[in-house]
Structure 1
Amino acid sequence: MQIDTLSRRLIDRFQHGMPLCAEPYRAMADALECSEDDVLACLERLESSGGLSRIGPVFEHSRAGASTLVALAVPEVQLERVAELINCYAEVNHNYLREHHYNLWFVLTGPDRAHIDALLVAIEAQTGLIPLDLPMQTAYRIDLGFPIGEAP
């Protein structure tokens, strides 16, 4: 995927936070010295090309509810079916295939731990697989950003 100059500038400037205001895309455009339509078109191009997965806030999960990391050991012949089933849950995000006995990893979020526990029971009943429940004990904050910079 080729990233144009506006996309590079937009990613570098806003991947760590959007303006908190009534018109965030207009504020982004002002900061980038372009039009709001340019920003929206750029975001659309990034999304349609697969370069953008989401735009939205990242909440401190312990203040907003509960979450846990879950792993499943899915037989390869069932992988697509189980992944599709897991993806149907609104509470699931970050679903990944991994090279390991526990090969399907995802995050479950919900309003409280009881909700998470009920989801784990439902997932086990639907898949016939026992979820490995790995709740976070301590968060070690990192700056998960990827500077794009100028084109090579």
Structure 2
Amino acid sequence: MELDNLSRRLIERFQHGMPLCPEPYRAMAEALDCTEADVLDRLARLQAEGALSRVGPVFEHRRAGASTLVALSVPEARLEQVAARISQFPEVNHNYRREHRYNLWFVLTGPDRAHLSRVLDEIEAETGLMPLDLPMHTAYRIDLGFPLETLR
């Protein structure tokens, strides 16, 4: 996929920190010297093309309430369907496929541990799969930014 100049600048400038203000897309547009509609259009296109999966914050879990890493062992024939359902939970930050018996991993964040337990129970009831609950004991910050010069 070829990125146009505005899309490239948008990703390079904001993959590490959206403006924390009431109108973040307008602030992004001002920083990029374009319109808010241009920013929203580029984000929608990038998402439709599969180059962008999500726009939003990732919270420090201890400040946001409770968080846990979860893994599911999903039969291959059901993987897309289960992943799509998992993505619908507002508590899910992201999910991803792994080459392992536990092939679907995701992070749950909620107001407290009891809330997370209820969501895990709901996921088990809906999917018939037993979630492997992996609460974090030690936090590590990993910068997941990607330099775009390698995508030219």
TM score, norm. by length of structure 2 = 0.82
Is contact 2:7–2:42 with CA below 8 Å preserved after alignment? yes
Partner residue in 2 for 1:18: 18
Aligned partner of 2:140: which letter?
Y
**Are 2:108 and 1:108 aligned?**
yes
User: 2:60 — aligned with what?
Assistant: 60
The answer for the alignment partner of 1:71 in structure 2 is 71
In structure 1, the gaps of 5 or more residues are none
Contact 1:8–1:149 at 8 Å: present in 2 too?
no
In the aligned structure 1, how far is the partner of 2:80 from the partner of 2:42? Answer: 32
Residue of structure 2 equivalent to 1:32:
32
* C-alpha displacement of 1:142: 2.2
Q: What is the percent sequence identity of the aligned residues?
A: 71
The count of corresponding residues between Structure 1 and Structure 2 is 152
Name the structure 2 match of 1:123.
123
Secondary structure of the structure 2 residue equivalent to 1:70? strand
Q: In the TM superposition, what is the alpha-carbon distance from 1:53 to its structure 2 partner?
A: 1.8
In structure 2, the CA distance between the partners of 1:18 and 1:79, relative to structure 1 (3 Å rule), is closer
Structure 1 CA distance for aligned equivalents of residues 72 and 99 of structure 2: 12
SS in 2 for 1:139: coil
Structure 1 or 2, whichever has the larger Rg, is 1
Structure 2 counterpart SS, 1:133:
strand
2:43: which partner in 1?
43
User: Match for residue 92 of structure 2?
Assistant: 92
Contact 1:91 1:108 in 2 (8 A): yes
Q: Say which SS state the counterpart of residue 148 (structure 2) adopts.
A: coil
How far does residue 131 in structure 1 lie from its aligned partner after superposition? 1.7
Runs of at least 4 residues off by over 6 Å: none
CA distance 1:129–1:65, change in 2 (3 Å): same
TM-score (norm: length of structure 1) = 0.82
